[in-house]
Amino acid sequence: MDSEKNVSFPYRGENIEGIIKRLNRKTVTVIVNGQILFRVPYQLLTPKIKPPLKKNMKKNSYTNKEWTKEQNRDYKKSNNTEINLPSKNTLISFQTTVKMLARALKSEDNITIKQYSNNVIEELNAEYKLPSLPVFTGGKRRLTRSGNQYYGVHRTRGEENKHSSISVYSRTAKTQKYVAPKTFLRTLIHEWAHHYDKYKLKLSSTYHTKGFYERVNLIYNELKKPLEKN
């Protein structure tokens, strides 16, 4: 404490006066008569005293707990890692598949949407030497508690999370219209980027870091080019 602060509190039917020695999170340590220590709840003090604020500590936004060393390492690696673009010839193949996916979305053909979504991911996995994983499409987006929408999800399951999958919703939550091709493609690449982080970067947890979005944007900006001509 920077200066002495006198307070009083009830104890065994009478009011005791003392000086605050230390502010804890739930109680206050008070010295009475220069030697006796009391631990008093804040609500019993007169005048009223507020507990100290929590120290600023870096938190894991997913669990609201302090970051572990492993989480710190994963976050930094995700934020600082760049991704290389495929070769020009490979990009032409990617863009052809993206065109077919866009046509399937415009024609609202669920079977073909799923087929070409899987093709895009298969080509990305082959290019970056990643294990294959299934892509599920269809259905409408789910609403979050705040009123936003879940566009897609990357899941891991099984022993040591060895099995992965991607789901991308084909229709919007409110109007249930089919998602625009560019939006659908960005979601597809976003969820694949979590797969990339897990297996290529060998991260235990994948985060939405600045580096993560830079990798997504680099791939997306190349693959969406044929959609900008329509």
Q: Which domain holds residue 15?
A: 6-44
Both 69 and 173 in one domain: the answer is: yes
Q: How many residues belong to the chain?
A: 230
- In this structure, are 95 and 208 located in the same domain? yes
Structure confidence by residue, pLDDT tens digits, 6-52: 999 888 888 889 999 888 888 889 899 888 888 888 888 988 888 88
Question: Is-above-0.85 flag for pTM?
Answer: no
Picking from 208, 203, 159, the residue whose alpha carbon sits closest to that of residue 68 is 203
Confirm whether 52 is domain-assigned: no
Average pLDDT score, the chain:
87
Query: Is residue 51 one of the residues assigned to a domain?
Result: no
- Measured CA to CA, the distance from residue 19 to residue 4 in angstroms comes to 6
Please give the pLDDT value at position 2.
Answer: 47
Three-state SS at 133 = coil
- Domain presence at residue 59: no
pLDDT-derived band at 65 (thresholds 50, 70, 90) equals low
β-strands 135-137, 163-168 pairing: parallel
Mean pLDDT within 106-127: 95
Q: Is the predicted pLDDT of residue 71 greater than 80, yes or no?
A: yes
Separate counts of helices (H) and strands (E) for the chain: 6, 11
Taking the C-alpha atoms of residue 84 and residue 129, their distance in angstroms, rounded to an integer, is 13
Q: Measured between alpha carbons, how far is 120 from 135 in angstroms, rounded to an integer?
A: 10
Residues 138 and 184 in one domain: yes
d(CA 217, CA 130): 19
Is 193 inside a domain boundary? yes
Cα Rg of the chain, angstroms = 28
pLDDT tens across 129-170, in order?
999 999 999 988 877 777 677 889 898 876 555 678 999 999
Q: Are residues 174 and 109 located together in one domain of the fold?
A: yes
Q: Is the pLDDT of residue 74 over 90?
A: yes
Contact 16, 38 (CB under 8 A): yes
- Other Cβ atoms less than 10 A from the Cβ of 218: the count is 16
Predicted pLDDT of residue 61: 52
Residue 201 has pLDDT above 50, yes or no: yes
The answer, yes or no, to whether residue 108 has pLDDT greater than 60, is yes
Q: Are residues 77 and 170 in the same domain?
A: yes
Question: Minimal CA–CA distance to 42: which of 73, 12, 5?
Answer: 5
For the ranges 138-147, 180-189, 215-224, the lowest mean pLDDT is seen at: 138-147
Kindly state whether residues 115 and 171 are assigned to the same domain.
yes
